Structure 1
Amino acid sequence: YSLPNGNHNRSGFFSIYLYCSQHCSSNIMQELIEPSQLQRFILRQYRWLQSMIFAIEEINKNPNLLPNITLGYGIYDTCFLISTALEGSMWLITGQEELIPNYRCTSHTPLVAIIGDATSGASIPMARLLGLYHYPQISYYAAADILSDKFQFPSFFRTITTTEIQSLSIARLLLHFGWTWIGILVEDTDFGEISMQSLKEELAKTNVCISFSEIVPTIYSPTKINHIADVIKKSSANVIVNICFDAYIVPLMEEVSNQNITGKTWLASVSSSTSRDLFKNHRARTLTGAIGLALPKSNIPGLRHFLLNLHPFTSQYNMYLETFWEEVFYCKWANNDTYHTMITNEIGNNIKLCTGKENLNELNISFFDVSESRTTYSVYNAVYAAAHALHELYTCKPGQGPFGNGTCANIHYFEPWQLLHYIKNVHFVNKLSEEIYFDKKGNSLPMFDLINWHLNTDGNLEYVDVGRIDFRLPPGKELIINNTALMWNGGHKEVPRSVCSESCPPGYRKAARPGEQICCFDCIQCSEGEISNQTDSSDCLQCPDDHWSNARRDKCIPKLIEFLSYKETLGVILASISIVSSLLPAAILYTFLKYHETPVVKANNCELSYLLLFALMLCSLCCLIFIGRPVAVTCALRQTAFGIVFALSVSCVLAKTIIVVIAFNATKPNSSLKKWVGHKLSNTIVSMGTLLQVIICIIWLTSSPPFPQQNMKSEPGKIIIECNEGSPVAFWCMLGYMGLLATVSFIVAFLARNLPDSFNEAKFITFSMLVFVTVWLSFIPAYLSTRGKYMVAVEIFAILTSSAGLLICLFFPKCYIILLRPDINTREYLMGKGSQQ
């Protein structure tokens, strides 16, 4: 503690010593550690202390700021202990070493403001205490969100941004680099707990998942440190977010380095991102490529000169200068009984004595590098904020003051709450032309620098600025980063991957694994007719009805339009066969007409043969209606024409069969069947058989006619242009009636197969009907099991096959006699042959 002569005093709280290093026993409680057990002197925090002294001395020399007022200071080393921070706060409030709450031993206010503490863990209880008395507290490093609550902490301010903004910044970085599988380390303090909760809430708004979250002890514990190192080693997360003060995380990083755990990317918060104690060269394999948030940097004019002029013999009112000297020169003052563990470890028994003649200018250490002051700059601004507030109080004009009846506060006897009013409204431009002010919650500007730790060619770890996050910019433009300047662990330039499951490419969707976080999933290809055209799609999109998914399931393409066309091979073949098949009965008809006087043609009702040949010719030609794009006319005609023509053909066969039976039975004496022999009966059978089919088709066409439709369901990826039969009942009635005629013809012919005479066609009719019935019985399952153009092809094949069966069985034997055996085409020969049978 040091206090020069002056009118007013402000106090700074700094943690210069860390009580327990990794060599301490893990069961020692913080409250029981004696000052003699101090273990490690931290140069980084000591520079913060010096920046406060520098700022105060600079203010005292400034004639335009607080003229004729000299500021003093008191410095308290909290040693990272909450109890010590509270004890120091009570000393300042009461003005004496004996702590008596609600009592102040001095008649005036010696305390202007408290600058500190660094850690949120100590600042929170300090702020609760100081808020009761309305003493302004300005922290340069405490970022916990809870401190923004003006109801709980009415007198707390800070020159850095909050944990909420830090958590939002971390989330933006994770999303920017595509890291969705991370680990989190926080310190075992209130700040650590608050930071953990804040980050989890922010990550819950994104697709980032947490592989593990561990609490780093503030007092060294080998068991806990080994456990955390083991978790890090086993985790598949390659990115670890570190929200720990550097003094707490160093033991863990030492263990991680000792276990040679590499390949991890460390994302450091403001608490440790620029710490030289953490980023030591012997941890380069572990920490190279670390990226971190850092307070905005600045080069404070005159600070380097001030630091280089520190000396234990010439500097007054400056604590720890002798310890600082021992630390940077690795020496020991002859009259110093305190021996530091760090020095012992580094120089062993080769201890040299400090003389005071050592030259700080010869040292090349980061302590004197003020070109990138960050926390140091935050301390500097905190001191100036208090000074400007005090200046406003000092220059208040009576009658224009902010208090009752326009009164002003007395600079020598003001109350803490009076200065608090001015600190809330402080707004000034510092020597570096930057605006400094506090928002309604007592926070500073929401912005961070982004730094990246590189391994230089000389083997040293150095950080470089790679961007900035500034939440004053429009949404979506807050992150400014130079990706080409980044270097990752192992010296790689490619951004490392940290995902639980690799991204699902387009054409696949994510399927969550039962019992695991949403970041852990399997990739399942979209079903037919569905696509996903983005990476990591949660669902597949259904293609429109007239489109289908391609093979990769990443694009909807128009469905193939299918019908039996004249332009395709199958259509050409069937059309050709149909035409040829129609020419055969036409040729046979021509032959029969040419030889109509021969006995073979005259036998068994030649008119029925002519009509049957004509019907068979139409049967083959009606196949052409089935080929081509279906339209309303062809759909209405194809089945009805086919049904009527075939009914005519089968009726002719039935008439021929009945005529054969009647003719042979009419030759018997006293037969009553003689009157039925003739053209009248055959014409009646043909007419009635065909008429019934015509009636069925008329009813079908009038009630529910066939119509063309686009069938998009039967075959994936195709639009089948087909004829909807309209009424399936009518369709099957038409086929059933045709089958009935064929069955009756078959039965009658089968019964008459053994009748005598060479003119008996019963055998041939039997075979023809057997072929006919077999074809159509086979047609039914084949027709029902096919779709699209092949269904049409099956029906055409059945028509052609059954027509060919009738033609071959009934007319080829006669054509053989007419054309090849005219010698036996005589009545005598045929009658003689018949009588022999």
Structure 2
Amino acid sequence: RALDLEHVKLFINPVLSGSSHIHFKPLNILFSCFCYRIYIQNLQQLQVIRFVVAEINGNPDILPNVTLGFQAYDSCDVLQLDLKGALQAVTGYDRIIPNYRCAGDVSLSSIIGPSISTHSILLSHILRLFSYPLISHYATSPLLSNKREFPSFFRTVPSDIFQSKGLADLLLHLGWTWVGLLAVDTDYGQQGIQLVQQGIVSAGACVAFSENILTSHPDRNAPHIVKVMKVSTAKVVVIFANGIDLIPILEEMIKQNITRILIASDAWSISTMASLKTFSAHLVGTIGIALNSGTIPGLREFLNTIHPSMTLGRYLIRIFWELTFSCKFIDDKNQTGYFSNAVKECTGSENLASVQNVYTDVSNLRTTYSVYTAVHAVTKSLEDMKNCKYPQGSCPDIWNFKPWQLLYYLKKVRFKLKDGREVYFDKNGDPPTVYDIVNWHLSPSGDMHHVKVGSYDMAAPPGKVFTINTSAIIWTTGERQVPISVCSQSCPPGFWKAARKGEPVCCFQCVPCPQGEITNQTDSFTCIKCLWDMWPNSEKTTCQPKPVEYLSYEDPLGTILSSTSVISSLVPVAILKIFIKFKTTPIVKANNYSLSCLLLVSLSFCFLCSLVFIGYPQPVNCLLRQVTFGMVFAICVSCILAKTIMVVFAFMATKPGSNLKKWTNPHVSYVMVFICSLLQFILCITWLSIASPYPEQNIETQPRLIIIQCNEGSPTAFWCMLGYLGLLASISFVVAFLARRLPDSFNEAKFITFSMLAFLSVWVSFIPASVSAQGKYTVAMEIFAILASSWALVVCMFANKCFIILSARPTPLATAELTAKHRR
């Protein structure tokens, strides 16, 4: 019987050999020789071998005076029949005689086939013993690339290693990180799907489920598989299987009414078995990776030349004829079994050129083109061997060569086909890796078409290895955009992916970036910390320069405080003018005129010293502002202390026998002011010498701001200076408080008591307020304390005196008393 491409034996004068499965598995694998379904596409491949052999034999420039022939063997896709056919090809007759070739008059050059990887592995182990080249047109298992195990194996299709990488790249390119995997339980399916899984997992994607299509089960385990698909949230399923094994899965999907985006391996990406109209709703939109297509000039016309009367393959051609034209050959005793009650008789005059089917379609030849390439590879190797130029007769005889001699040339073969495609085998026996990416479209007539939408070419320049036109893809879901198949939605910029405990890495939750960090990409695993002088925007997608903060004159708060300081400083000056104008009055004389003038001048400077705190903190400002504040207030409080003590001495000196009269001299008060101020001066000089203040950029208090502030250098020195002022004020307050009841019509100790009480209250309140305040408000708080304490002294010490001076003249009695007091 005629054979399919599972084995095609290539002989030299006359025959070339091969093996294939025009039919599918027999009803009884071991005993039946009747295959229950014909595979028309493999019939096309058989005719291609006829076409190529005839083309080569008719070309005088290729192997002149040498005739190629071939034999074919139909294995029905059964391992036992594949093995039987290969051994028959080696023996040379219809029987098998191990390790012996009976047909000595012709040389067996090679065997093309089988198409199944598992079968190729078995045959390669056997044929390696004889060193016969085995060239498969469809076996893609990565195991066959091991030249130590399979030294005589070659193939004209890429290894599944590259197919699996291409499928993984396809999934990742389309953004599918949550996919299901189905694989037939053969070497092809298991190894292929494992490589796909490794590829997508290493790239960060995840497998939602992985199930096996069990070929030992009549239903292929379809109910369980489809149930898993239905429960899973994955919208994309990668299937490594043959078209015939996929049919039960599709039938069950229809039964359970589910659709998924199917990703096809090369075994069924262009299958005609699964593209029946029954499954069109579930298969439209399928994306597959397929063998690179090619064209063979003149093939269509040659295919139309077959006829039921032909000797070669007559049985298969007659079955094909009956199926194509829906007729029955009367002379056959219903051998085919396809039509028991034929509606018409086959005459043999039917016009095959008018038929459009899988057999006559030569627009996108894939597997057929792979067979075409295999025959030309063997032919080129024979030609190179015939043209051998080695001296001393070491070249093999083209009429009587050994298999290992041709194997040598087959490893080094390199040539170009008519369409310009270069053919060669690498060190593993694999050809250049080129795939087409196809999309299944449904035509208005209901037929399924495989439309090329991209390519995967490992020989292409970087950046062009993987190309796909997503706008040309029709999706199963009917969407215009690429559908989404993810376990968790993408995290937008500003968030990072936090894995869920016990779940795959693709299942995560989106967590906002911590304070001071950003992400500017989708699906970031970590956040990026901004530079010290940068801060994230509100979306946490970019780092922006931090705002600089300090108490400036342009700031409304700074404007108010500076204006208040300047205006307030004029009040002591105005009071000083009053005192100068009325210095001859008893009330001015009684208040120690010189000391009061010094106090008013220092109070004016107390108001003005707050201006040093406003504006950009320059090194000079930082160096002087606290020292200026400390010295001015030290003079001011020292004057009040001196006035307080002088009041006490004045009244105590009136007692008989008192020795304190000498201490009522005005110079004593000046000495007291000098000594008290000198101590503060020494403290400030020591502070500046040991740890002077300096400007700094503070990012700790408020991380989103750069606070330009003055570092006091030594906080201890600052609080010592402030504490010294508090000590002077406390002593003055205690003394004045004790002297408040001294008998006199005008006792200044009462006003000093109130002024010191207000002064101390302001600065005691300042301590917690300054600790709680931040940034420019800390400075504003100190300025407020300066202004408030200065106003307390001005009001308590001089308001009543000015009122008396300006509102009414002193009575004669009061004048006499004040004059007497002054004289004392």
Maintained 8 Å contact 1:604/1:660: no
Does the C-alpha gap of structure 1 residues 407 and 777 become closer, same or farther in structure 2, counting only changes over 3 Å?
Answer: same
3-state DSSP of counterpart to 1:41: coil
Matched, 1:295 2:287: no
Root-mean-square deviation over aligned CA pairs:
3.0
Q: Report how far residue 287 of structure 1 moved.
A: 2.1
Q: Counterparts in 2 of 1:319-718, with a 5 A limit? A: 319-331=315-327, 335-336=332-333, 352=343, 354-357=345-348, 358-393=350-385, 395-396=386-387, 400-401=389-390, 405-718=392-705
| In 1, Cα distance between equivalents of 2:242 and 2:106 | 34
Which residue of structure 1 aligns with residue 192 of structure 2? 195
Match for residue 18 of structure 1 among 10, 19, 24:
24
Match for residue 766 of structure 2 among 763, 779, 784:
779
Q: Report how far residue 120 of structure 1 moved.
A: 1.4
Which residue of structure 2 aligns with residue 273 of structure 1? 269
Maintained 8 Å contact 1:285/1:490: no
3-state DSSP of counterpart to 1:134: coil
Match for residue 125 of structure 2 among 124, 128, 135:
128
The aligned amino acid for 1:692 is: L
Which residue of structure 1 aligns with residue 6 of structure 2? none
Which residue of structure 1 aligns with residue 78 of structure 2? 81
Match for residue 14 of structure 2 among 8, 12, 15:
8
3-state DSSP of counterpart to 1:211: strand
Which residue of structure 2 aligns with residue 27 of structure 1? none
Maintained 8 Å contact 1:286/1:489: yes
Which residue of structure 2 aligns with residue 286 of structure 1? 282
CA displacement, residues 662-693 of structure 1 (integer Å, 9 cap, x when unaligned): 32333333333333223233223222221111
3-state DSSP of counterpart to 1:554: coil
| In 1, Cα distance between equivalents of 2:812 and 2:508 | 86
Q: Counterparts in 2 of 1:25-424, with a 5 A limit? A: 34-35=31-32, 38-95=35-92, 99=96, 101-107=98-104, 111-222=108-219, 224-262=221-259, 264-331=260-327, 335-336=332-333, 352=343, 354-357=345-348, 358-393=350-385, 395-396=386-387, 400-401=389-390, 405-424=392-411
Does the C-alpha gap of structure 1 residues 48 and 106 become closer, same or farther in structure 2, counting only changes over 3 Å?
Answer: closer
Stretch deviating more after TM superposition (709-718 or 422-431): 422-431
| In 2, Cα distance between equivalents of 1:749 and 1:96 | 136
Q: Report how far residue 205 of structure 1 moved.
A: 4.6
Does the C-alpha gap of structure 1 residues 64 and 317 become closer, same or farther in structure 2, counting only changes over 3 Å?
Answer: farther
Q: Report how far residue 584 of structure 1 moved.
A: 1.1
Q: Report how far residue 622 of structure 1 moved.
A: 0.3
Q: Report how far residue 696 of structure 1 moved.
A: 0.3
Q: Which runs of 5+ in 2 are unaligned?
A: 4-8
3-state DSSP of counterpart to 1:8: coil
Q: Report how far residue 750 of structure 1 moved.
A: 2.1
The aligned amino acid for 2:445 is: D
Does the C-alpha gap of structure 1 residues 353 and 824 become closer, same or farther in structure 2, counting only changes over 3 Å?
Answer: farther
The aligned amino acid for 1:486 is: I
Which residue of structure 1 aligns with residue 710 of structure 2? 723
Maintained 8 Å contact 2:519/2:527: yes
| In 1, Cα distance between equivalents of 2:315 and 2:426 | 34
Stretch deviating more after TM superposition (629-638 or 79-88): 79-88
Maintained 8 Å contact 1:257/1:285: no
Which residue of structure 2 aligns with residue 28 of structure 1? none
3-state DSSP of counterpart to 2:620: helix
Q: Report how far residue 443 of structure 1 moved.
A: 1.7
Does the C-alpha gap of structure 1 residues 225 and 449 become closer, same or farther in structure 2, counting only changes over 3 Å?
Answer: same
The aligned amino acid for 1:543 is: C
Could you tell me the percent identity over the aligned residues? 47
Which residue of structure 1 aligns with residue 786 of structure 2? 799
Q: Which runs of 5+ in 1 are unaligned?
A: 25-30
Which residue of structure 2 aligns with residue 813 of structure 1? 800
| In 2, Cα distance between equivalents of 1:68 and 1:57 | 14
Stretch deviating more after TM superposition (311-320 or 805-814): 311-320
| In 1, Cα distance between equivalents of 2:631 and 2:515 | 42
Stretch deviating more after TM superposition (491-500 or 271-280): 491-500
Maintained 8 Å contact 2:107/2:401: no
TM-score after normalising by structure 2: 0.92
Does the C-alpha gap of structure 1 residues 81 and 786 become closer, same or farther in structure 2, counting only changes over 3 Å?
Answer: farther
3-state DSSP of counterpart to 2:207: strand
3-state DSSP of counterpart to 1:428: strand
Maintained 8 Å contact 2:293/2:369: yes
3-state DSSP of counterpart to 1:653: helix
Does the C-alpha gap of structure 1 residues 521 and 6 become closer, same or farther in structure 2, counting only changes over 3 Å?
Answer: closer
| In 1, Cα distance between equivalents of 2:222 and 2:813 | 119
The aligned amino acid for 1:222 is: D
The aligned amino acid for 1:497 is: I
Q: Report how far residue 353 of structure 1 moved.
A: 5.9
| In 2, Cα distance between equivalents of 1:34 and 1:436 | 41
The aligned amino acid for 1:212 is: F
Stretch deviating more after TM superposition (115-124 or 246-255): 246-255
The aligned amino acid for 1:598 is: T
Maintained 8 Å contact 1:240/1:267: yes
CA displacement, residues 99-132 of structure 1 (integer Å, 9 cap, x when unaligned): 5543445545653311111121221221122112
| In 2, Cα distance between equivalents of 1:375 and 1:120 | 15
Q: Report how far residue 388 of structure 1 moved.
A: 3.1
3-state DSSP of counterpart to 1:377: helix
| In 1, Cα distance between equivalents of 2:312 and 2:303 | 14
| In 2, Cα distance between equivalents of 1:503 and 1:495 | 15
Q: Report how far residue 445 of structure 1 moved.
A: 2.0
The aligned amino acid for 2:509 is: D
| In 2, Cα distance between equivalents of 1:338 and 1:650 | 129
Maintained 8 Å contact 1:818/1:825: no
Which residue of structure 2 aligns with residue 743 of structure 1? 730
Stretch deviating more after TM superposition (181-190 or 130-139): 181-190
Maintained 8 Å contact 2:219/2:248: no
Maintained 8 Å contact 1:8/1:111: no
3-state DSSP of counterpart to 1:35: coil
Does the C-alpha gap of structure 1 residues 818 and 457 become closer, same or farther in structure 2, counting only changes over 3 Å?
Answer: farther
3-state DSSP of counterpart to 1:253: helix
3-state DSSP of counterpart to 1:132: coil
| In 1, Cα distance between equivalents of 2:256 and 2:63 | 56
| In 1, Cα distance between equivalents of 2:662 and 2:384 | 140
Residues matched between the structures, number: 813
CA displacement, residues 523-550 of structure 1 (integer Å, 9 cap, x when unaligned): 3333333232333333322222222222
Maintained 8 Å contact 2:12/2:106: no
Maintained 8 Å contact 2:184/2:241: yes
Stretch deviating more after TM superposition (64-73 or 188-197): 64-73
Maintained 8 Å contact 1:80/1:122: no
Stretch deviating more after TM superposition (641-650 or 499-508): 499-508
